[in-house]
Amino acid sequence: MQEQNFKNHTRFVPLFHFVMLGIIVTVVVLSVINIFHEVNLSSGMFVLIGLSSLISFAMIRRFPLAAQDRAIRAEENLRYFSLTGKLFDGRLTLQQIIALRFASDDELVSLTDKAAKENLSNKDIKQAIQKWKADHHRA
């Protein structure tokens, strides 16, 4: 596998992120156009189907990410505890903790302290990592 770093760590699944979303957006746009040409029960149904598909698309992605975020928070808190004997600083946000998962054990403690003190964004945290710890198992 290619070495993971800040520039290539995002993950897109083309069939889901581009093809499926493109189809759903097309259905929504065409159904809205159709309802302006001919207002009837079928036109309204197609608008509702398109909108429900768009909402489903968003939620299909959001629900597993929420579970993954909880797992990351628990894993990283355990990793930090094993390195320091303390739990994460309460000032850290979930987004900061998620970004810290890419830091090597050598960098985690100092970068965590810096993130809490300076309220670093997740992007700033990722850019500050010198030795990237890849995560190839994320959704």
In tens, the pLDDT along 22-52 reads 999 999 999 999 999 988 999 999 999 999 9
Lookup: tokens for 24: 């759903």
- Note the pLDDT of residue 61: 85
Task: Say whether 128 sits in a helix, a strand or coil.
Answer: helix
Give the residue-averaged pLDDT of 68-72. Answer: 92
Secondary structure of 45-107 in the HEC alphabet? HHHHHHHHHHHHHHHHHHHHHHHHHHHHHHHHHHHHHHHHCCCCCCCCCHHHHHHHCCECHHH
Res. 88: pLDDT tops 60? yes
Q: Answer whether 6's CB lies under 8 Å from 126's CB.
A: yes
Domain boundaries, the chain: 14-128
Give residue 65's pLDDT band: very low, low, confident or very high (50, 70, 90).
confident
